[in-house]
Structure 1
Amino acid sequence: MPKKSSLVMFKRISKNKGALFGMFIVILMITVSIIAPLIAPYDPYKQDLLSSLQRPSLKHVFGTDIFGRDVLSRVIYGARTSISISFFAVLIAIFIGTTAGTFAGYFGGTIDEVLMRFLDILMAFPDILLAIAIVAALGPGKSNLIMAIAIYSFPQFARVMRASVLSVKNSEYVEAAKAIGESNISIMIRYVVPNAITPIIIQATLRMATAVLTISGLSFLGLGVKPPEAEWGTDLAMARVYIEIAPHLGIFPGLALFLTVMGFNLFGDGLNDALNPRLKDR
């Protein structure tokens, strides 16, 4: 991205308080997930039955669960689990979606028709239902969770990329590259994709929010991350049993999930405003 464009983007984001707040939450959660072993006060998997269901205190800031495990440590490690799974799932979805969308938009014709009809079939199913069906068929686990999220996410990236490619494929620089005899693959890699990729960046941020929510939802249903691994949805599933006598078990993982999803959504909306070419710099 050119230096001038970057400055314009950061200027627009700086004027958007919601985007700044979202960016702060996203950076905070990513940082927490990376340095989790360094900042977690206790081993999130170490059980101490004598300390079970303790309320928040100076020793255990977020309290302990039924097995005496520190809730704060599990919330911190839960960020690592959710964000890492979401990142790899969205990364795979971006690769598949942008490849399919680029070919469909650039070549058109039969390729475009076949790919778009296939995507229409996938998009006919609600995201969470498709994810449940895939995980139920393949079984719970991180790898299957990543696959499920990638499968229901890539059609959105393909659609967005196709629309973006259609808007740039007839540009003068593309026509000039064709005139000098460059291959279609070279033109797509060197000219089309770099100039059509901006909407994908925005979409990726928003899909991260959806992915984090899906991971927790599936884990809550017992189809996602397997216990005893720390994950917000898994911990919320256990917390519902003890909600009356130990409400802290659900409050803190739920709050972490809420803030993370809100952060990615706010930041994504801010990026959309900042990178939208129809908006004029003020």
Structure 2
Amino acid sequence: PLTGTGVAFSISFSTNGLTFNGQLVGTTSAPQQVQVNNNTSGSVTISNITASATFGITTNTCATPIFANGYCVLGVTFTPTAAGPQTGLLTLTDSTDSGPRTLPLSGTGQDFSISAAPGGSTSATISPGQPATYSLGVSPASGFNQSVTLTCTGAPSESTCSVSPQSVTLDGTNAATVRVAVTTTAASLSVPAQRALPRGSRLPLSVWFTALVLLLALAAMLVRRRRVQVVLAAILVVAVLWGSCGGGGSGVGGGGNRGTPAGNYNLIVTGKSQSLSRTLTLTLKVN
């Protein structure tokens, strides 16, 4: 008969693996801790520790020898670079010469994208004064279920660009539809405005009263001499002087509105969720 006694690995991990769920692409997760146990009766030195792919080590108390039946702690993080499942290994080498120890690591990166909705387009051609509308879809990837805030920039002068609704919360599976509306302005002419002359440019009232008295005296004298034409001419001169120098206002042109300039424009729709940002470029042609 054969007999034997099982002996634990000299170095072991406190868990069979670490899993990180639902981490936004480009962001770093909170660290998960794992113990490295020394199952021997003597001290063990950890000579090398690495984490592969998109995983990292933030906490490491294994830099000093681990005493018999003691342990040290490692903190592991996950920073996905793309949406979807990702795997890696935590690998350490110790002084027992029993070969590297590995711990499986896994995580899921989450993301969202912005694109034209089914049947929609990312380009539009209009004339000044006409609106443009784009129908877009905000789609989750790998279970993304966060809120996304949307803005639109790049509209030409004399126009506006807005997104409705300005924020959507995705359910991890289905796309949310948003509408981008662009308003433009047609060219127009305005009626010249009237502006009274400054007070300092008007003749004093006493001067006009004196001129009126002299004009009436002259008129009376000329009427007796039957020179009606001269009287009428004098009255006309006074009326013109009154209107130009003090009685009336001077016209100032309104200038009008040139409207939205013709040209090709890029409108940038930006979606943000925490530190994650995604954009879509829309083209607008104004004839």
What TM-score range do you get, normalising by the shorter chain? under 0.3
Higher strand share: 2
Bigger CA radius of gyration:
2
- TM-score norm. by structure 1 comes to 0.20
TM-score (norm 2): 0.20
Q: Which has the higher contact order (CA 8 A, sep 6+)?
A: 1
Q: Higher helix share goes to which structure?
A: 1
